[in-house]
Structure 1
Amino acid sequence: MEDTEPVLLDVTCREGEQRPGCSYSTEQKAGAVRALDGLGVEYVQIGFPVAGPQTGEVCQRVDVDTKLTGIARAVPRDIEAAVDAGVDVIDVFAPTSEKQRTELLGKDEDELLSLVGETVDTAHETGLEVHFTAMDGFRTDPTFLDVVFDSIDAEYLTIADTVGVKTPFEVTSFLEELSTSPERLGVHFHDDLGVATANALAAVAYGVQKVDVSVAGIGERAGNVPIEEFVVAAATSGLISLPEINESELIPSAKSVLAALGESVPDEKSILGTDVFSHESGLHTAAMLDDPSTFEPFDPSTFGGSRNLYFGRQTGAGAARRLLKRTDVKPTEERVESLLAALHGLDEPVLTEEAVVIARNL
């Protein structure tokens, strides 16, 4: 695999609202867009312009470098609505698998090709950037998908795993069956099998140039590719570059998006959860006082995060000795026992700074 530089399209604002009972206000979406713009995300998908005026309202309230996108069915009025909303990109979508094409549209392959071709041409006539998303693309016959892609001109041709059934092995084998150049392709994964990030990484390793992501994976059903997971995995792999992304702002920006949308994540959520960079185990804290990488896969400060080492009832002699050394006090057995007694007697564990104070005041 050669070093690759895919672009990211964030779908949090649109996918988040596809969950039962969820909706965001114009101000909430505007706040999320601003935070994602500060992070350096190339594209942010606001919503479905034809569904109402909100997409246009968001476009009017933000002044950002990120390109704002709206999705559109392959029908003229959706294209018109996207133009009226003021988006930068029209993302035309249509179901391409036999199951969804027949169930949702009731059209044969030739009818679908005609419909998509005409709609994409109409979108191009607006002068806006045009993307095309093959809905249920990963369950579409690769030969037919190539025909669809060959018949249209779009900045990116996105293959959607709409029902979240693919694994990394299947993603790679599917892409290998396509004759369409991966440089034209984007991918959109759902996390129903818990492998959305792995699927995205596999696709990019193959050469795909655009990945749809969402903050904390927020999206319908099990969600989508979490932007924070993809960015960190890309950085730690050393094989995927995201030059537009401000890595040092990843965690703060993601949390700003969550705050703007009124969303939260479990404490154990990878990258963003409060427990992820928190340690209390005696073995862990003892080692990490000397070298944090002993029990961390990466330095959280690289991505705007911070680690928390806790000391209390789980603290062992090794950690106590290291705390005493930080006070320039010789860690005699008596002092170690005294510090352990003080820490074990606490009602709640304390952070490193307070533990050092306790050690200093023995």
Structure 2
Amino acid sequence: MPRMQLNDVTLREGDQMPGRAFTADQKVRAARRLDELGVPFIQPAFPITGEKDRSVVSELAGTTDADIVALARAVTGDIDVSLDAGADVVEVFVSVSDRHLEHLLGKSRPEMLAMLTNAVDHVVDHGGTPHVTLADAFRTDHADLVDVFESLPNVPMVTLADSVGVRTPASVQTFLEALREDVDLGRVGVHFHDDLGCGTANVLAAYHLGVAKADVSVGGLGERAGNSSLEEVVAACTVDDDDTLGVDVGELIPVCRDVLDELGESYGERKAVLGSAIAEHESGIHTAAMLSDPATLEPFDPATFGGGRRLVFGKPTGKGGARKLLQRAGVDADDETVAAFLDLLDDRGPLHLADAVALAEREFGS
């Protein structure tokens, strides 16, 4: 088992974004692609919200390698609907910070604890597997969090949510280091939002402290600024720690792009990992080096994750790059030929690598 398991929340979080209304078929098709990627948990829906989400869970349950997770408030009605839909896991969530207890839940802390433990017991008594998410946990006092964990000794996974995206890697590290004095991080998950641009970095900080699970989303899709990005977390752990997190990294880019396409969601050409332009090089200094050793100017071979690079040659191409192209074409790269080839590239570029080599062969080959 990987050091940290992933719970994909793309379909549930994304559907809650303003102006979105994914269809049941879109959610099911996207979930099946995510299942092919190998994520162990997929949270596609919040069944109490309506027939669409209930049907998504029902159609997916029992047909995927991933456990299908249904979100539920800590009330029996939500839980019963999730269980009736056949969810493998019922993710019960409740607010735990003083601010959320007062302004969202309208409960005292003892009332919240009773509500949560009763909800978990209800899941277990009806044959379900409970997970728990503690909303606004990263703004909750340490002692109060420990009380919650002690009230849930048999829940296999308890996720701490940074519900407003206020944490940074440094504060995540400090928070979790203190918590692990009293709580086994092997049953702790994390859920971050990207409001400070730290969503992925926060997951990585938690990963290195030994948390067991992280909520992630394709392209960072989610409410407000979005959630921690699935593809960024996987790529970072693969490159930095040689840990693929149990997913098929060779399909990472194609699957994530397919999921976003299926949902009608766009992503920028310079989006980390996914963007088409992040492995495109045109600068003369860059392309010359890349022809010798691509790792000179890339953090990873995009093919590792199912992508590809593009080297572009034209006006910016320098003598070094032109000479290497000519050599690839089997042409004697003397100064005169290099100069003539640079003029051609200036006139006919920009050209991709194969086209640039073909031009050299055609114009200067024997």
| One-letter amino acid matched to 1:53 | E
1:215 counterpart = 2:218: yes
For 1:259 and 1:7, locate their aligned partners in 2 and report how far apart those are by CA, in whole Å.
25
Asked whether the 8 Å contact 1:317–1:336 carries over to 2, the reply is yes
Asked whether the 8 Å contact 1:56–1:87 carries over to 2, the reply is no
**Who is 2:125 aligned against?**
125
Question: What is the Cα deviation at residue 241 of structure 1?
Answer: 4.9
Matches within 5 A, 1:69-108: 69-108=69-108
1:272 counterpart = 2:270: no
For 2:21 and 2:124, locate their aligned partners in 1 and report how far apart those are by CA, in whole Å.
31
What secondary structure, in the 3-state scheme, does the structure 2 residue paired with 1:144 have? Answer: helix
For 1:92 and 1:111, locate their aligned partners in 2 and report how far apart those are by CA, in whole Å.
16
**Who is 1:196 aligned against?**
199
For 1:119 and 1:73, locate their aligned partners in 2 and report how far apart those are by CA, in whole Å.
9
| One-letter amino acid matched to 2:26 | Q
Question: What is the Cα deviation at residue 86 of structure 1?
Answer: 1.8
| One-letter amino acid matched to 2:251 | E
Question: What is the Cα deviation at residue 60 of structure 1?
Answer: 4.0
What secondary structure, in the 3-state scheme, does the structure 2 residue paired with 1:276 have? Answer: coil
Instruction: Report how many aligned residue pairs link the two structures.
Output: 358
| One-letter amino acid matched to 1:52 | G
For 1:60 and 1:314, locate their aligned partners in 2 and report how far apart those are by CA, in whole Å.
56
For 2:57 and 2:135, locate their aligned partners in 1 and report how far apart those are by CA, in whole Å.
25
**Who is 2:313 aligned against?**
311
Percent identity over the alignment is: 46
Q: Provide Cα deviations, 1:308-338, integer angstroms capped at 9, x if missing partner.
A: 1011121111110000000111101111111
For 1:20 and 1:60, locate their aligned partners in 2 and report how far apart those are by CA, in whole Å.
25
What secondary structure, in the 3-state scheme, does the structure 1 residue paired with 2:7 have? Answer: strand
Matches within 5 A, 1:1-362: 5-62=3-60, 63-152=63-152, 153-178=154-179, 179-238=182-241, 240-242=243-245, 244-346=246-348, 348-362=349-363
Question: What is the Cα deviation at residue 263 of structure 1?
Answer: 1.0
| One-letter amino acid matched to 2:30 | A
| One-letter amino acid matched to 2:296 | T
| One-letter amino acid matched to 2:340 | S
Asked whether the 8 Å contact 2:45–2:56 carries over to 1, the reply is no
**Gaps (5+ residues) in structure 1?**
none
What secondary structure, in the 3-state scheme, does the structure 2 residue paired with 1:361 have? Answer: helix
For 2:239 and 2:124, locate their aligned partners in 1 and report how far apart those are by CA, in whole Å.
38
Say which structure, 1 or 2, has more relative contact order (CA 8 Å, 6+ apart): 1
What secondary structure, in the 3-state scheme, does the structure 1 residue paired with 2:116 have? Answer: helix
Question: What is the Cα deviation at residue 256 of structure 1?
Answer: 1.2
For 1:200 and 1:75, locate their aligned partners in 2 and report how far apart those are by CA, in whole Å.
29
For 2:309 and 2:242, locate their aligned partners in 1 and report how far apart those are by CA, in whole Å.
26
For 1:155 and 1:309, locate their aligned partners in 2 and report how far apart those are by CA, in whole Å.
48
Asked whether the 8 Å contact 1:42–1:66 carries over to 2, the reply is yes
What secondary structure, in the 3-state scheme, does the structure 2 residue paired with 1:44 have? Answer: strand
What secondary structure, in the 3-state scheme, does the structure 2 residue paired with 1:360 have? Answer: helix
Q: Which moved more, 1:216-225 or 1:57-66?
A: 57-66
User: Are the structure 2 counterparts of residues 92 and 302 from structure 1 closer, same or farther at C-alpha, using a change threshold of 3 Å?
Assistant: same
For 1:258 and 1:106, locate their aligned partners in 2 and report how far apart those are by CA, in whole Å.
37
| One-letter amino acid matched to 1:354 | D
For 2:54 and 2:34, locate their aligned partners in 1 and report how far apart those are by CA, in whole Å.
18
Q: Provide Cα deviations, 1:320-359, integer angstroms capped at 9, x if missing partner.
A: 000000011110111111111111112x511100000111
TM-score by length of 2: 0.95
